[in-house]
Amino acid sequence: MAVAAVAVTGALAAAGCGGGSTGSNDTSEVEVFSWWTGAGEADGLAAMKADFEKRNPGTKFTNAAIAGGSGTQAQAVLASRLQNRKPPDSFQGHAGAELLDYIKAGQIEPLDSFYDENRLKAAYPEQLLQQITYQGRIYSVPVNIHRSNVLWYNPGVLKDAGISAPPKSIAEFIADLKAVKAKTKKVPLSLGAQWTADHLLENVLLGDLGTDAYNALWKPGADWGTPAVGKALGDFGEIMGYTTQEAASTDWQGAAKAVVDGRAAFNIMGDWAYGYFTGNAPNGLGKKLDTDFKYAPSPGTDGTYMWLSDSFTLPRNAPHRGGAIAWLKEASSKEGQDLFNPKKGSIPARKDADRTLYKGYLEYAFNEWNKPGVKLAGSFWHGVNASKKQHTDIDTAVGLFLQNKDVAKLQAGLVSAAKNSGQ
């Protein structure tokens, strides 16, 4: 974890803002802002909401979730609200560098006293606390741990293509994509909205470069212009040639559903897809692991956990600060996390969770996260180690690549994004 944290820790150490509590201690209401509207995550939020209302009968819970995978639409709405000094009472953010802009702008409060009062420093892994700390202060409450580098596949489609096992390297992956295209009428690799291509990019970089070289890309002064990065981007370009993108309106769910419906062979997506696959209607698909779908580490990444964490913050001048504190207690509690994560398709951020609740893929993820010697890499697309500016610039470079298919221009765009990252 220390390796994965280098870039974030350095960036956080360079930032600074004052402390102290602000806003009203009104507990009559709490407006919780998130992007949890999809299958699995919506069910998990509903479970936490019900528990919150049971514990806080006098507090009205307002769900201000904005649809859009990875929070792309929600974060744009949030930025406007914060700029206009109309913050929600608490908002979702990915733990790590994604929170830097809010911290630098003085838009969220430090939560050290909250952690002390609720004895949370002992409940969370020390390595995770490092990701949400700068200058000794903590600014968010993690709810979960997600794995970004998961390959979901349809066993029937692979069998039809003559593929006996999921690919273990990027080279094998490309060969399998070719086999699916040549031997079946199915889509080799499904994608959704543009951000799912960014998500694919981070997985190809990790698979080709390896954990140490991937993590080094996020250190100050990192060189994205190397031949090794160029080779990985060339592979990314070749892989993109075997994709079929769903309409942007379907987002990641449409791409994932193509696999379990037998229309596509592969999809690389975070493990929130598991909650979508196995959840009950109307939000879930009710599919069966090992029958309708299987999983493996994304090609070339076995032994590495590319991680991200959803967390909640306390905005300065929150209209109902007391309600926000009550919500943060729910989000940080063992009970709240055990209600939320099995439905979301993630594992809890706390160390004392009830492991018996995590079955199938989630049991595997739990064991992988806690495996001695596991290597960790932060998900740049999901906020761990890229500033908001670099995140935006990478997305712009990928968007241009989707139009021009020029790998050299893509690499030049990524070099520029790193140089102008602001970290």
Q: What is the pLDDT of residue 151?
A: 98
317 and 301 in one domain? no
Residue 327 belongs to a domain: yes
407 and 354 in one domain? no
Residue 398 belongs to a domain: yes
* Strand 375-378, strand 304-308: pairing: parallel
> Where residue 225 sits, what CATH number does that domain have?
3.40.190.10
The total number of structural domains in the chain stands at 2
272 and 201 in one domain? yes
Q: What is the pLDDT of residue 22?
A: 59
Q: What is the pLDDT of residue 423?
A: 58
Spatial distance between the Cα atoms of 405 and 298, rounded to a whole number of angstroms: 23
* Strand 187-191, strand 264-268: pairing: parallel
127 and 229 in one domain? no
Q: What is the pLDDT of residue 248?
A: 67
Structure tokens at 58: 């006098």
Residue 227 belongs to a domain: yes
Contact of 304 with 377, CB cutoff 8 Å: yes
Contact of 54 with 46, CB cutoff 8 Å: no
Q: What is the pLDDT of residue 7?
A: 44
Residue with tokens 């007391």: 322
Tens digit of each residue's pLDDT (9 = 90 or more) over 210-260: 999 999 999 989 999 999 999 999 999 999 999 987 766 678 999 999 999
Residue 163 belongs to a domain: yes
Domain assignment of residue 176, given as a range: 150-306+380-419
25 to each of 21, 118, 321, 325, how far by Cα in Å? 10, 18, 5, 9
**Phi and psi (nearest 5°) for 416?**
-65, -40
Please identify every stretch of the chain with a pLDDT value under 50, giving residue numbers as ranges.
1-20
Tens digit of each residue's pLDDT (9 = 90 or more) over 115-172: 999 999 999 988 788 767 877 899 999 999 999 999 999 999 999 999 999 999 999 9
103 and 171 in one domain? no
Q: What is the pLDDT of residue 6?
A: 42
Its pTM stands at 0.86
Beta carbons within 8 Å of 315's beta carbon, 6+ residues apart = 23, 82, 87, 88, 89, 90, 91, 107, 108, 109, 324
Contact of 100 with 329, CB cutoff 8 Å: no
Contact of 410 with 237, CB cutoff 8 Å: yes
